[in-house]
């Protein structure tokens, strides 16, 4: 963030009053979560700071020193401030004898279970550096126990990316250490963010706010934790896949019972219970908040009906649990408390799903349902169901999308004008930009920030050079951010305001981490090429290229026809315009952006057969994606 960046506006009087009112609407006197978040604390490292080998900061909580256990600043919703305080806790914690967690050294948790001969690591954080620091902290206080197994609960990078910080891949390949994961783990772990990766990366800057300065008028939290880590991502393929609910494994002398939960918070996810320790691990399906059914960054809409069902099944299967941990946040202790906690999470997802479908079948649209649905007090007045990451309004719209899609059946919305053209028409109909801004300033003073943001967004899209319109729109975003209970909403509003004032953020192009790139199938790589193909430029062209990978003995035919790029696996075409022969490792380097195809050809790493001009012609048809594309302006 530039030191000369323009600052946000202070909270308006109406925002201050609204945030104060929150204190009387929710049970702030209940400090049980604070006691639980501190329970079992053993030790930590200063400011939870973790550095890479080059001295780059992979993770730190130093920038959150402004968050104390005092009252919320006027510019932060007190409920959001509460979770921001709780997520400030960091270090090594004892859950119960034999079960430990490292929390606050990354956005996710590392759970460590002591077995007969060593320690079993459940989830390995986002990056190698954080995982290594977490394991070192554990060993400093529990002894230099060897890691005997790793378990991945699901397919998101903050749960597997640090694996090489806790185990050596050579030991895994030699069979000394097992890596356990749910079925289809690798397929989803390496592909979920590939096809739409550039767009997801750009949108994630709005979801998590990593480029916002931390502070009372900036980023304070990310709901599941403080923010996202920026270290070295690694991946080791599982050696043991869990296929069915009820599957058992004996791992380092301890029995684990697994419950499959696919298409819940992740496409491949599982829970587990350790009978000897009476400990239940719910992965990321029962956290101390309402989770996202559709992340701001983008993803396939998650299934809240299945999600609720898995929680219900866990209640039935593991009712003997005396401690429940998740891979975010702090544990829950006691059979009755665990049962109550899970039941309220179960009913949260079920209620929002069912009520959305009820109103949908009455003919209401997504935006109408989002305004209508309010949680009953039995669900709304418990902290674990609050809108810190997902939100009722946001999740209602996700459910609508899952069942009916984007179209609300009103023909006026079937083929509306694109944003810029529509904005110019709206502004003209409303009497021009000056007239719109005059009315918007009046509404701003009334505290009608949602409407001001909507109309000023139109003015900005009609004329992005209008500095007054940009600032008024940004000011409305500021106030909406200060009011937001959801960390994701606050981050989106405040980062949108920042970019209106300072222009789109400069985002460095991200390469595939080496382990992810090597795990990605060649077919998935060809799919990404298809996404990059500029269809209009390819019109009328017909090119066939054979691909042969000498180290894996894989063969492919890549076919450009009808402005679409397709491929066939398992053979080469008898008649092809050109042929490429290379090692799979060379393709991995290209995906990592360590080299390009022309450079690899020049270095002799790729052999060309047939007509080289056809290859040049094909490679000239691919777009390059810029990660700083505009969002709050055209």
Q: Which of 482, 477, 436, 474 is nearest to 455 (CA)?
A: 436
Region 434-455 average pLDDT:
98
pLDDT at 38 exceeding the cut of 60: yes
Strand 178-182 vs strand 147-151: parallel, antiparallel, or unpaired?
parallel
- A 10 A CB-CB count for 361 gives 9
Give percent above pLDDT 70 in the chain.
99
Region 52-56 average pLDDT:
95
Region 590-608 average pLDDT:
90
What is the 3 state secondary structure string of 262-298?
Answer: CCCCCCCEEEEEEHHHCEEECCCCCCCCCCCCCCCCC
Which of 208-222, 326-340, 478-492, 498-512 bottoms out in mean pLDDT, i.e. has the lowest?
Answer: 498-512
Which of 222-231, 314-323, 361-370, 582-591 bottoms out in mean pLDDT, i.e. has the lowest?
Answer: 582-591
pLDDT (tens digit, 9 = 90+) per residue, 95-104?
999 999 999 9
Please, which pLDDT band fits residue 506 given cuts at 50, 70 and 90?
Answer: confident
Quote the pLDDT of residue 507. Answer: 82
Please list, residue by residue across 186-195, b when 16 or more beta carbons sit within 10 angstroms of its beta carbon and e when fewer do: bebbbbbbbe
Please, which pLDDT band fits residue 3 given cuts at 50, 70 and 90?
Answer: low
Quote the pLDDT of residue 322. Answer: 98
Evaluate whether 543 touches 210 at the Cβ level (below 8 Å). no
* Better pLDDT: 493 or 194: 493
Quote the pLDDT of residue 391. Answer: 97
pLDDT at 326 exceeding the cut of 70: yes
pLDDT (tens digit, 9 = 90+) per residue, 525-581?
999 999 999 999 999 999 999 999 999 999 999 999 999 999 999 999 999 999 999
pLDDT (tens digit, 9 = 90+) per residue, 286-297?
999 999 999 999
Quote the pLDDT of residue 517. Answer: 85
Specify the pTM: 0.96
d(CA 202, CA 506): 10
Evaluate whether 484 touches 449 at the Cβ level (below 8 Å). no
Evaluate whether 223 touches 487 at the Cβ level (below 8 Å). yes
What is the 3 state secondary structure string of 361-399?
Answer: CCCCCHHHHHHHCCCCHHHHCCHHHCCCCCCHHHHHHHH
pLDDT at 194 exceeding the cut of 90: no
Which parts of 48-90 are beta strand (E)?
50-51, 57-59
Please, which pLDDT band fits residue 496 given cuts at 50, 70 and 90?
Answer: very high
Beta bridge partners of 214: 219
Give percent above pLDDT 90 in the chain.
92
pLDDT (tens digit, 9 = 90+) per residue, 149-168?
999 999 999 999 999 999 99
d(CA 312, CA 303): 14
Quote the pLDDT of residue 510. Answer: 66
Domains and CATH numbers, the chain: 27-301+317-334 (3.60.15.30), 416-483 (1.25.40.880), 521-619 (3.30.1050.10)
pLDDT at 4 exceeding the cut of 80: no
Quote the pLDDT of residue 591. Answer: 85
Evaluate whether 261 touches 304 at the Cβ level (below 8 Å). no
Question: Per this entry, what is the length of the chain?
Answer: 634
Quote the pLDDT of residue 574. Answer: 96
Burial status of residue 608 (CB atoms within 10 A of its CB: 0-12, 13-18, 19 or more):
middle
* Better pLDDT: 351 or 1: 351
Evaluate whether 262 touches 313 at the Cβ level (below 8 Å). no
Evaluate whether 255 touches 276 at the Cβ level (below 8 Å). yes
pLDDT (tens digit, 9 = 90+) per residue, 330-352?
999 999 999 999 999 999 999 99
Please, which pLDDT band fits residue 505 given cuts at 50, 70 and 90?
Answer: confident
DSSP string, 118-179: SEEEE---SSHHHHHHHHHHHHHHH--PPEEEEE--BSSGGGTTTGGGTS-HHHHHTTSSEE
pLDDT at 190 exceeding the cut of 70: yes
pLDDT at 256 exceeding the cut of 70: yes
Which parts of 493-618 are beta strand (E)?
543-549, 554-561, 564-569, 578-582, 606-610
What is the 3 state secondary structure string of 322-346?
Answer: CEEECCCCCCEECHHHHHHHHHHHH
Quote the pLDDT of residue 2. Answer: 55
What does each C-alpha distance from 250 to 55, 123, 246, 506, 585 come to in angstroms? 40, 18, 13, 49, 36
Work out the mean pLDDT of the chain and round it to a whole number: 96
Collapsing DSSP to helix, strand or coil, 305 comes out as helix
What contacts 88, CB < 8 A, 6 or more positions away?
Answer: 61, 64, 67, 104, 226
């Amino acid at each position: 963030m530039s030191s000369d960046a323009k600052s946000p506006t202070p909270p308006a009087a109406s925002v201050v009053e609204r945030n104060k009112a929150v204190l009387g609407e929710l049970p702030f006197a209940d400090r049980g979560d604070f006691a639980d978040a501190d329970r079992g604390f053993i030790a930590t490292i200063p400011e939870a700071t973790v550095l890479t080998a080059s001295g780059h900061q992979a993770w730190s909580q130093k920038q959150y020193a402004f968050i104390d256990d005092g009252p919320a600043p006027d510019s932060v919703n007190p409920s959001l401030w509460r979770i921001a305080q709780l997520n400030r806790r960091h270090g090594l914690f004892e859950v119960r004898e034999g079960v430990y967690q490292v929390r606050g050294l990354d956005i996710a948790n590392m759970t460590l279970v002591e077995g007969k001969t060593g320690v079993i690591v459940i989830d390995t954080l986002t990056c190698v550096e954080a995982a290594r620091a977490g394991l070192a902290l554990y060993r400093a206080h529990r002894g230099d126990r060897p890691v005997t197994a790793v378990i991945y609960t699901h397919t998101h990078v903050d749960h597997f990316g640090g694996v090489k910080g806790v185990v050596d891949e050579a030991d895994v390949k030699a069979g000394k250490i097992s890596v356990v994961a749910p079925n289809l783990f690798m397929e989803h772990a390496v592909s979920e963010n590939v096809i739409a990766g550039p767009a997801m990366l750009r949108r994630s800057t709005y979801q998590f706010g990593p480029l916002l300065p931390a502070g009372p008028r900036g980023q304070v939290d990310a709901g599941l934790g403080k923010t996202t880590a920026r270290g070295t991502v690694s991946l080791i393929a599982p050696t043991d896949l869990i296929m069915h609910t009820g599957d058992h494994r004996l791992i380092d002398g301890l029995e684990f019972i697994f419950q499959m939960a696919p298409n819940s918070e992740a496409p491949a996810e599982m829970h587990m219970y350790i009978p000897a320790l009476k400990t239940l691990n719910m992965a990321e399906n029962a956290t101390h908040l309402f989770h996202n059914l559709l992340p701001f960054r983008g993803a396939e809409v998650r299934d809240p009906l299945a999600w609720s069902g898995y929680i219900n099944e866990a209640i039935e299967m593991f009712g003997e649990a005396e401690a429940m941990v998740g891979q975010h946040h702090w544990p829950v202790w006691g059979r009755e408390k665990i049962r109550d906690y899970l039941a309220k999470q179960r009913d949260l997802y079920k209620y929002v799903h069912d009520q959305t479908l009820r109103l949908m079948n009455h003919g209401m649209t997504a935006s109408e349902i989002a305004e209508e649905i309010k949680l009953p007090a039995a669900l709304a007045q418990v902290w674990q169901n609050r809108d810190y990451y997902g939100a009722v309004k946001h999740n209602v719209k996700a459910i609508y999308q899952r069942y009916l899609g984007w179209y609300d059946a009103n023909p006026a919305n079937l083929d509306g004008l694109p944003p810029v053209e529509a904005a110019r028409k709206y502004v003209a109909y409303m009497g021009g930009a000056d007239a719109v801004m005059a009315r918007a300033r009046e509404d701003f003073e009334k505290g009608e920030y949602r409407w001001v943001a909507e109309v000023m967004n139109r003015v900005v899209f009609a004329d992005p050079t209008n500095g007054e319109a940009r600032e008024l729109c940004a000011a409305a975003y500021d106030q909406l951010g200060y009011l937001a209970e959801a960390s994701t909403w606050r981050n989106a509003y405040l980062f949108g305001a920042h970019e209106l004032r300072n222009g789109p953020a400069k985002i460095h192009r991200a390469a595939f981490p080496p382990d992810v790139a090597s795990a990605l199938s060649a077919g998935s790589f060809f799919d990404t090429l298809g996404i990059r193909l500029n269809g209009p430029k390819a019109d009328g062209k017909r090119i066939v290229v054979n691909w042969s990978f000498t180290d894996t003995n894989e063969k492919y035919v890549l076919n450009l026809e009808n402005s679409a790029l397709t491929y066939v696996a398992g053979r080469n075409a008898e008649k092809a315009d050109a042929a490429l022969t290379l090692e799979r490792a060379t393709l991995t380097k290209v995906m990592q952006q360590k080299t390009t195809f022309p450079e690899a050809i020049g270095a002799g790493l790729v052999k060309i057969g047939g007509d080289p001009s056809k290859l040049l012609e094909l490679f000239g048809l691919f777009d390059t994606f810029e990660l700083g594309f505009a969002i709050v302006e055209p």
